[in-house]
Structure 1
Amino acid sequence: MGHDQEEEETPPATPTTTASAARKDQEEETWNHQKQTLILELSEKLITGDLQAKIEAARDIRKVVRKSSVKTRSKFASAGVIQPLVFMLLSPNLDAREASLLALLNLAVRNERNKVNIVTAGAVPPLVELLKLQNSGLRELATAAILTLSAAAPNKPTIAASGAAPLLVQILSLGSVQGRVDAVTALHNLSTCKENSTPILDAKAVSPLINLLKECKKYSKFAEKATALLEILSMSEEGQVAICDSDGGILTLVETVEDGSLISTQHAVGALLSLCQSCREKYRELILKEGAIPGLLRLTVEGTSIAQERARTLLDLLRDSPQEKKLASSVLEKIVYDIATRVDGADKAAETAKRLLEDMVQRSMELSMNRIQHRAASCTPAKVPSA
């Protein structure tokens, strides 16, 4: 019975289905042959043609690649198109630059090997030169190309050392919406380069990043990258001053702690913690003034393990300030209770709130004890020198 059922589920091939499959295979083989011929023709035209022929070939490569698979991108690379396209980036003819740039950009998408080969062929210096142009269209295409190429780990050291970063920072202020998004993502890619010993960002990036963070949804992927860059900048004295001096700088980070995704809240609280640890007297009052306490308390419950630890550490630092001591215990309890209600529901809120407050008290006592011990150690009488 089972054998009969098996035969019913898998009917024998008929002459019609066999012929159909064969025809389909034949059509696919013919198409692949045509495509391979086209690839070789365009490659030849790009390598040996005059300037106009090269521009037309680059445009055709872009058209073919846009509608094709990763395999086709690899075949174009094997046909030797990358190096002549990179040479075209140096052309004084803007049409040639644009055509080659678009072709390279499409060859690099979703193809790691092509990305590495494009950088190896020397694409980065001419791309950096394109970032300096007044032509906003070419400048932003170059930004998109650097974003795409910087996604490949082997390319990051070359791009990070190329001088592209300060030019990308300029685009944070001057570019279109897409240009600014691409610049932030490219800078974020470069910031993860382990081999780069010198920082890729300086304090000039703070103000445009704060402005972009104000405008975007705090839980977006874009906000995650912007806050990651701000956290890096908050580790330098110049970056700290720039965050403080930016219009709404600290407030924007506090709002991200309140409304951000798990990743953006982790970076935002990291930036605020860097500020407070660098100069507690200066920054804790500014952070408190922007109403950071409720968001930080919520983060001790809802954040990533790193964010929770950072929020607790920052709360401990803020709690030392005279202004924070004025916060009545009943108000603090209400804030904690409201957070606990949102996290665990009304029936468990009292228990959760009690646990949170006990944890805060315990941490406060531990800190106080550490300070007392430190003070005692520093006051130990020096040994009396022997006569």
Structure 2
Amino acid sequence: MCQNPSSVPDPNPSPSASPGPSRNPDRNPSPGAEERCRGDLKKQALVEDLARRLSSGDAAVRVQAARDVRRFARASVKSRSAFAVASIVHPLIAMLPSPDHDAREAALLALLNLAVRNEGNKDKIVKSGALPHLVELLRSGKNGLRDLATAAVLTLSASAPNKPTIATSGAVPLLVQILTAGSIQGRVDAVTALYNLSSCEDTSNFILPSEAVKPLLTLLKDCKRYSKFAEKATGLLEILSRTEEGRNLISEFDGGILMLVETIEEGSLLSAEYAAGVLLSFCSSCREKCRELILKEGPIPGLMLLTAEGTKKARERAHNLLELLRDDSKKKRVASKDLEILVYDIATRVDGPVKAAVTAKRIMEDMVRRDKELTFTKLHPRRCQ
């Protein structure tokens, strides 16, 4: 309980003390401290009132209390922390399996707002047992409840400690179903949730079903190649391309390879890195079968550009992919003069006409260096181990 210390008499008064405010904050608290104290008491009383109403036997009272929690949690980060106590979180979770639509909706929205931008609250909600109810709502929720459950799983999956728990909860195949049959917002949230879960420290916890290939490519086809959404979709496609079934489904999708080539050319640095990874998986697994499939979509300019301005991993992937796409026969090999023209054109796009010559020279020297390294590795494999 907060008490005004100025009301307590000084047990050792000093007659010689000069008048004026004391430097001891315990004796003369600032108006700001008193205000904060009163605010804390008021908030504590509010928490107790909400907890009491959430445990009421009256369904309408519980629903209104949940709506009030949502409203207060939206106010600030501090409010979210203050209201995420067991006496509030547990009754909200208990409302999730309710047969009453309004009760489930109010509880979902309240929990969502408690979790937003608060890692501690996200962990607390999962540890309090919300996940099985959310998974059930992903499976059978209707009238917008499934979308809210998807948004809740997305929010909770942003916390690293929650990822293994969610990844092994049965939520992943249900999120993949939402990619196909969910609302637009539901599909967007499902992609983001799956992308979050894909970064589990133990990758064996996250198994992405191959059924995700078609809806992911469909979503990628309809979005901007440089968008954050494209990054997530392409990142998931890279994971799927590590299996033969995933690669087959990507190659069978009308325009699938072309979309990946376009992503390398037009996407963000991260999207281009992922897309190059997908194509590299194709060529590494079956060069003869996939080489012509990729080459007919014209990937060389984009890959050359990626070797100059991509991320470190993207540059490595682009170099390796270019090596695999090369034709070893003299008849079809690109003439060195044609290659120089292509590199100069790419350098112009990267650094402009003034610096193009220097950039083109650097790219050509890098390609020659890597070619020598690869030749040496083939001739002296033991020295490179």
With normalisation by structure 1, the TM-score equals: 0.84
Structure 2 SS opposite 1:81: helix
Write the distance in 1 (CA, Å) between the matches of 2:190 and 2:331: 39
Tell me the residue number matched to 1:212. 219
Write the distance in 2 (CA, Å) between the matches of 1:343 and 1:59: 53
With normalisation by structure 2, the TM-score equals: 0.85
**Retained in 1: the 8 A contact 2:53–2:65?**
yes
Tell me the residue number matched to 1:184. 191
Report the alpha carbon displacement of residue 347 of structure 1 after superposing the two structures with TM.
Answer: 3.1
Report the alpha carbon displacement of residue 195 of structure 1 after superposing the two structures with TM.
Answer: 3.0
Report the alpha carbon displacement of residue 243 of structure 1 after superposing the two structures with TM.
Answer: 1.1
Report the alpha carbon displacement of residue 323 of structure 1 after superposing the two structures with TM.
Answer: 11
* Pairs aligned (count): 354
Structure 2 SS opposite 1:49: coil
Tell me the residue number matched to 1:8. none
Report the alpha carbon displacement of residue 112 of structure 1 after superposing the two structures with TM.
Answer: 1.4
Tell me the residue number matched to 1:37. 45
Report the alpha carbon displacement of residue 272 of structure 1 after superposing the two structures with TM.
Answer: 0.9
| Correspondence for 2:232 among 225, 228, 232 | 225
Deviations 1:98-131 (CA, angstroms, capped at 9, x unpaired): 1111111111112212111111111111101101
Write the distance in 2 (CA, Å) between the matches of 1:72 and 1:348: 54
Identical counterparts, % of pairs: 61
Q: Which range moves more in the overlay, 139-148 or 21-30?
A: 21-30
Deviations 1:263-288 (CA, angstroms, capped at 9, x unpaired): 11111111111111011011111111
User: 1:266 aligned to 2:268?
Assistant: no
Deviations 1:275-315 (CA, angstroms, capped at 9, x unpaired): 11011011111111111000000001010111111101100
Tell me the residue number matched to 1:276. 283
Write the distance in 2 (CA, Å) between the matches of 1:121 and 1:263: 36
Distance 1:287 1:30, change over 3 A: same
**What root-mean-square deviation, in Å, do the aligned CA atoms of Structure 1 and Structure 2 show?**
2.4
Whose helix proportion is higher, 1 or 2?
A: 1
Paired residue type of 1:200: I
Tell me the residue number matched to 2:54. 46
User: 1:309 aligned to 2:304?
Assistant: no
**Retained in 2: the 8 A contact 1:160–1:196?**
no
Structure 1 SS opposite 2:371: helix
Structure 2: any 5+ residue segments left out of the alignment? 1-28
**Retained in 2: the 8 A contact 1:143–1:179?**
yes
Report the alpha carbon displacement of residue 373 of structure 1 after superposing the two structures with TM.
Answer: 5.5
Tell me the residue number matched to 1:56. 64
**Retained in 1: the 8 A contact 2:200–2:206?**
no
Tell me the residue number matched to 2:176. 169
Q: List aligned pairs for 1:344-363, cutoff 5 A.
A: 344-363=351-370
**Retained in 2: the 8 A contact 1:218–1:259?**
yes
Write the distance in 1 (CA, Å) between the matches of 2:277 and 2:57: 55
Paired residue type of 1:233: L
Q: Which range moves more in the overlay, 260-269 or 288-297?
A: 260-269
**Retained in 1: the 8 A contact 2:197–2:206?**
no
**Retained in 1: the 8 A contact 2:195–2:232?**
yes
| Correspondence for 1:286 among 279, 286, 293 | 293
Write the distance in 2 (CA, Å) between the matches of 1:136 and 1:337: 57
Tell me the residue number matched to 1:7. none
